[in-house]
């Protein structure tokens, strides 16, 4: 799990100095349904597709 969650939206309630997110949890969504092919299809800049077996 990530130690630091970064946020550049400084008018968010959970934004803190140093572009840190102080939320208790993070909710990431896909704009294309249950799966996504790249970060542009999500609200997560660090998205990487999982290797499916």
| pLDDT tens-digit readout, 1-53 | 668 899 999 899 999 999 999 999 888 899 988 889 998 999 888 888 888 76
The size of the chain, in residues, is 53
pTM of the model: 0.67
* Contact between residue 12 and residue 6 where contact means Cβ atoms under 8 Å apart: no
Residues 6+ apart with CB under 8 A from 30: 36, 41, 42
Q: Which residues pair with 13 in a beta bridge?
A: none
Residue 33: count of CB within 10 angstroms of its CB: 7
* Contact between residue 42 and residue 31 where contact means Cβ atoms under 8 Å apart: yes
């Amino acid at each position: 799990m990530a130690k630091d969650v970064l946020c550049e939206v400084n008018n968010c309630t959970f934004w803190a100095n140093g572009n840190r997110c102080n939320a208790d949890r993070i909710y990431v969504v896909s704009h294309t349904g249950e799966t996504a092919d790249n970060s542009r299809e999500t609200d997560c800049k660090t998205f990487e597709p999982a290797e499916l077996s």
